[in-house]
Every structure is written in structure tokens, then in C-alpha cells.
Structure 1
Amino acid sequence: MCKLPPISLYIHIPWCSKKCGYCDFNSYVSKEIIPEKKYIEHLLKDFEKDLLLISKREINTIFIGGGTPSLLKSSSINKLIIGIKERASISHTAEISIEANPKTMEYKRFIDYKNSGINRFSLGIQTFNSHLLKKIERTYDSKEAIDAIKETKKIIDNINLDLMYGLPGQRLEDALLDLKNTIQHNPSHISWYQLGIEPNTVFYSKKIQLPHEDLIFKMLVQGEKLLKQSGYQRYEISSYSKPNYQCQHNLNYWNFGDYIGIGCGAHGKITQKNGKMFRTVKNKNINDFLDGNYLNSINQVLKKDQIFEYFMNVFRLYQPVFKKHFREKININEMIIEKKIAIAIKKGFLINKMNYWNTTKKGKFFLNYLLEIFLD
């Protein structure tokens, strides 16, 4: 019998008012009225089926993402939260987050979200530069972004602001000004990540050009220094927080915890008491999902793949990787990977201590090369 990891719940809301050119998430443009009532009913039925896989384990965090969850009425979100709590054991200290877009924000609605039990808001700002916002096809301007932050801070203290750097045509001073503007609003958490152009996106087909990698590196180095000076601790590759405000939901992902994923196109990872690990993928087609066809696939994760996936997550964190933690999560002794560890140490990516491994600065910078070592 293995020690079961903590478990989280991810809820996917697939609708957006507009799909951005860089977005590769499973989402639909809401040209007509969103079938909120029907979707919430099916979300809860999907949840009931997944509960059969987790043996009454307590859920520690909930994250409502998308898409743009804030498109939904407060009554729909309230019904969803109540339905989840009626069906499962939720920790009384659970972090419950929701993503929002400044354009769709209605501040009365956000007060209701908070009253429903949501205690963390994540705003997709991306940049305060109105010209760059147009370039990346966002549907709001700088003033609307600032107004959204100010109004949200009147409602709740636990706020994450999403920012991107390396945008098309962005200069070093633009990226640093975005950070300065963000810091001025004093959010509890900042997600600051590099824009990537993924296949199957509009930007990929248009061959949108991003700044040179040398300029992007300068943005990263100088931006990180600015955040550190302003009291934000980098605890993950793209995550910075004030003390005690790390995102608990994402920490569970990165520490290789379990999670249920419900909703159109959602993914899950669930460990059984016998040590077997399964990944679930829900149906991406919204019409099929609303017909009650929730599960697209469920597959067992082989040990060799578990090892790679484990390091793919934990190496993102700025903390030691304890060997005891590896043994508990994968249920094998670390001696089985000693040759791979030796290669990583020789390349200068890892430091090996008696009880833990630590990624070097070089290992973090060349993370993909480090992870390749653990591919079978």
C-alpha cells in the first residue's frame, strides 16, 4: 500500500468572449448564450463519476479555470461550489481560486463569487501596454486592466496577476514597466511567464515573430531582480509571491500531487492505494460533453513515465527535491535512477546531497536538457 498524495480539483469552463491568437487551451468563443445551467449540471455529474476513483479523500484546493470562468453568472458559480461541497469532503482551509478577464469582470458578480467561498482571484492582465494588448489580441485596454485590479482589491486581498514578457514588438523597458505597474498594485502573487508560440494556434500559423532570445533573457534577469527587490519570492519558474501567498493548487501539481479534472477537455491524475497511477482526459467536444459523454480516456502511467513526469514537475520549484519525497510519490528506491542522476551532476545541472537533490542555476536555465536525461 502506498502513501496517497494530497488531491486537488480542477474545473474547466471552456467559453471565452474571444480566443487570443496565442491560446492553445480548449476553449470556445461564446457567440450565443452560454448554456450555464446545463453545463453546471453535467460538471457535477462528471465530478460524481471521478469521486469513485478517489476513495473519499479530502480535497485540499479547487481551481476554476478556462476559458474565462468569470463569464458565468454568480448564481452558476454558487450552484457549482455548493454542488461540489455537497458531494465531497472539502478541507475547511481549502484554497478556492477563479480565473478572470478584466473585460468580463462585473464587480457585483465578484462579491458574490467571494460569498460563494472563492478566496483567491487570478486576473489575466498580460500587459498594461494598450498597443501590445492589441497585438496579442486581448479585448481590453490598459485603463480597464487597472480598474479591474483596483476594484478587485476592494473585495479580496489574495490576488494573482498574470503577466507575460517576450511579446511581439516588446522592448526591455516595456517589460520592466509592466512589472513596475504590477508591483505598484501590491498583489499577493504574480505569475510572470514568457510568451511561447504553440502549434495549432493562430500566431503559429501567422508565423508571429517574438523578440530575440538575448533580449528575452535580459527581460528575465532584470525583471527577476526587480521582483526580488520588491519583496516577491520566486518559488517556481514563473511564479512569485509575497510570503505565505504561494498558489497551493499549483504547488500540488508541481509536487506531483493528485488532482481530479472535470469539464470539457480537463485532465486528471489519480493514484490508487495499490500504487497504480492513472491519467484521465475528458471529452474536448462541448456537444458530446453536454450529452453526458465525459470521459475521453483513462490510462495507467507506467513507472518509467512516472519518473519523468515527477521530475518535469518538481524541477520547476525553487526548493530541494527530497529523496524521501521521490520514494513516496513513485514508490521505488532512488537507486534505480542513479545513472541518470550521475549524468545530470556531470553536466552541472544537479547537486547531490545525502537526503536531497538540488537543481543548479545552470539546471534551471537548461531545464529541458535536464529533463531529457530522465526520458526513458
Structure 2
Amino acid sequence: MTGVELPPLGLYLHLPWCTRKCPYCDFNSHAAGDTPPYDDYLQALLRDLELELARADGRLIDTVFIGGGTPSLFPVAAIESVLTALLPRLQSGAEITMEANPGSAEAERFRGYREAGVNRLSLGVQSFDNALLQRLGRVHDRSQALDAVDAAREAGFSAINLDLMYGLPEQSLDQALADLDQALALGTDHLSHYQLTLEPNTVFFAKPPALPDPDTRAEMQLQCQRRLQAVGLAQYEISAYARPGRQCRHNLNYWRFGDYLAAGAGAHGKLTDSAGNIHRYRKVKVPALYMARMARGTADVEPRRLQTDDRILEFMMNALRLNAGFPVALFSQRTGLDFELVRPVLDRLLEDGLLQTDGARYRTTRLGRDHLDTILAEFLPDDGNAA
């Protein structure tokens, strides 16, 4: 094992409540009800954050992502308290993203979030079609989505991501393209564009809606990608498109196998120590249990140190999601392993037409991008291969 160069450090903060739970959502989110314990949760989160900053051992934070749930349900003062606590440990020019719903109540707080230090907003639009929004169980409508983009710009946000889905219940190809055209008409510089999937432990999984057939979903993806490319939003990850310089730095750090602290119920973290050991950990998932555990000390559960096989698989699982793939040097820098450990597997994937290389960088081909699970299976430790 070679020495590990410490990667950039991010921070993920999880705020777990939504107005109501969407039927397709498998995230750790909970319907807010009448009186979510925002104040108690904030105190637990601030204590958690204090412990996380100590864990970082003086390293500065380059990116922050406030996710959920719907973080924009939290009062501005709560977000300001968190970012004030972080301020001494933030790199100059740190990217600070917050997820938000396009509902009118949340949009009224956008200026306050911007003044508190949030500089990138991610709006969960999903669709601009009212009938499709109802089928998805969303609490906003088309008008509120359009108004939210305007409100974000008026609040001073220049970096705005729109979340948009396709392959929705009973959605036609024309409807999918109309949704995309509306997003493009708003002048977005970053789009998260992904296909609806039916995840276990969701309402849609238990009672599947009528989805477009596989050929229609494939045509939606192909035609949308062509339109995005034509207007200068380049695909840089499987579901992410951006104009030059507008990529999400926080997510890029994930995909480049960087480090990130974690605070909040169910949040996951990854940290490399000065000896080159790579650790993963997570927090208790249930908000009430998380708050109780934090009151007694810590909510950490299941910490583990990544072994060689873990490092290889997790690096490839992340880096090969990127259209640009990864430089050969990055593999050793982030895993601490000799590149020759994986070269035989990469050579086989090159022969199969799933990867391409110029000698200094490996990336998926178009075929490989469509069969990423097949590629990753080659790196599973029980395959008997060099990885």
C-alpha cells in the first residue's frame, strides 16, 4: 500500500422532514406533521457538528450539502446557526448547497438562506406538468415551480440546480420533452435529470403505477440527452448536466472518492486518516433516536475501516459514474493502492468495449455507461479476479 494523499473534505448535513412523504422516495425522510421538533433537532445537529469538526483534525471544508427531507422547511435562523458554527472551518469560496422545495412557503425564505451563507440552491421540481406532479405526490404545482426559480434568482442565487425526472407514471415522450424544454427555457446552468425507479420500501414499489414501457423510457433518455447537449449542458455524470464551470463540486468530491463528514439522522461519512486508513460511518437513522443518542454523546453506528477490496470497488463505483472517468494517478492517491492491482480487470473491460483509455485516464464507453453494473461486477471480491 502506498501513502494516501488526503483528498478534499466535504460535509453532508441531513434535515429529515418533508411536508409529506412522496410515494417514490426511499430517502431517510419523514412527514413533518403538525409540530416537528426543529429546535431539539437543531441542538442535536450542532452537537453532532462539533464532534465532526473535531474528527476532521483541523482540515478545512471545501463543500457543504444540506439535504433531506426538505431543508427549506427549517427556519432561516436554524440554517444560519449551523453555517455560523461552520464558518471558521470553511475554505475560502466554499460551495454551500441546500435542497429546497418549490412551495411558496419555502420560496419566501430563499433570501434569508442566501444571506445566511447558502450559495447554491437545488430545487426539487421533478416535473412542470400538474397531472404528473399529482401522480408523484408532490405538494407544489407548475406555477409554484416557475415562481420558485424566479424567487431564487431575486434572492441572489446564481447557482441553481433543477431536479427533473422522466419515465413518470403514464408520461408520454412528448410530456418528457416538454418538461425538459421548460427547464431549459428557465436558463438553468445545472440539471439533475434522472429516470424514476421503483425502490424497495416505497409506496410505488408496493403498488406500482403504470410506467412508460422500456423502449419509451430509453427514447426519453436519448432525446433529452441530445437536447441538453445541443444547448451546451454537458453530461458529466450519469444523471448530471451542467454548463462549463457549473458542476456540483460537492457531488464531484463523492464521485472522485473524496472525504466527507456527516451530521444528522442517517447521514453517512467517509474519512481518511493521517496513516492512510479509510473509514466509513453513519448516524442513527430515526430522528427521535438520533436526538436521544446525541443527548447522551454520539449517534455514530457501524463504523468500519475499508479493506483493499472495499477501496477498489467503492472507488470504481463512484469514479466510473463520471463521463470523464478517472486519471490513473487518482486511483492510488485516493485508495492508497498500487494501480497494478486493477490493471488486469481494466484490460478485460477494454477488450469488451466497456471502457476506453488514452493510457493516463480510464472512462466508460457509451456501451459501458449503459452497463455500469456489469463493469462493477468485475470488481467484486468473490469473482476471483485481480481486484
**1:32 is matched with which residue?**
34
Q: CA deviation at 1:227?
A: 0.8
Deviation, structure 1 residue 242? 1.6
CA distance in 2, matches of 1:358, 1:64: 30
Compute the displacement of 1:52 (Å).
Answer: 3.1
What is the one-letter code of the residue matched to 2:220?
A: M
Aligned to 2:102: 102
Partner-residue secondary structure (3-state), 2:103: helix
Q: CA deviation at 1:346?
A: 2.1
Which residue in the other structure is 1:57 paired with? 59
Seen in structure 2, the aligned counterparts of structure 1 residues 335 and 106 have a Cα distance that, compared at 3 Å, is: closer
Q: Tell me the residue number matched to 2:371.
A: 366
Farther off after superposition, 169-178 or 209-218:
209-218
Q: Structure 1 regions of 5+ residues with no counterpart?
A: none
Contact 1:44 1:84 in 2 (8 A): no
Q: CA RMSD in A?
A: 1.3
Equivalent residue, structure 1, for 2:322: 317
In the aligned structure 2, how far is the partner of 1:258 from the partner of 1:209? 40
The change in CA–CA distance for 1:107 and 1:359 in structure 2 (over 3 A counts) is closer
Partner of 1:147: 147
CA distance in 2, matches of 1:134, 1:296: 37
Whether 1:174 aligns to 2:182 is no
Q: 2:340 is matched with which residue?
A: 335
Q: Structure 2 CA distance, aligned partners of 1:109 and 1:288?
A: 29
Residue identity opposite 1:120 in structure 2: R
Describe how 1:152-231 pairs up with structure 2 within 5 A: 152-155=152-155, 156-231=157-232
CA change 1:352–1:229 in 2 (3 A) is: closer
Whichever residue aligns with residue 344 of structure 2, its letter is K
Q: Deviations over 1:323-343 (max 9, x none)?
A: 101011111111112221122
Letter of the structure 2 residue corresponding to residue 327 of structure 1? S
Give the count of matched residue pairs: 374
Aligned residues of 2:9 and 2:62 also touching (Cα < 8 A): yes
Cα distance in 2, alignment partners of residues 104 and 22 from structure 1? 22
Task: Report what 1:84 is aligned to.
Answer: 86
1:343–1:373 CA contact under 8 A, matched in 2: no
Q: Distance in 1 between matches of 2:107 and 2:134?
A: 24
Percent identity over the alignment is 39
What CA deviation, in whole Å up to 9, does each residue of 1:227-263 have, x standing for no partner?
1111211111111112211101101001110001110
Note if contact 1:163-1:192 (Cα within 8 Å) is conserved in structure 2.
Answer: yes
Q: What one-letter code is carried by the residue in structure 2 that aligns with 1:290? A: M
SS, match of residue 4 in structure 1: coil
Structure 2 residues not aligned, in runs of 5+: 382-387
Contact (CA 8 Å) 1:96, 1:117: kept in 2 or not?
A: yes
Q: In structure 1, how many angstroms separate the alpha carbons of the residues matched to 2:329 and 2:95? A: 26
Moved over 3 A (4+): 104-108
On the 8 A contact 1:157/1:187 being kept in 2, the answer is no
Deviations 1:16-65 (A, max 9, x none): 00000010011111112222222122112112222233221110000100
| TM-score, normalised by the number of residues in structure 2 | 0.94
What letter corresponds to residue 63 of structure 2 in structure 1? T
Instruction: Name 2:303's counterpart in structure 1.
Output: 298
Taking the aligned partners of 1:320 and 1:204, their CA distance within structure 2 comes to 32
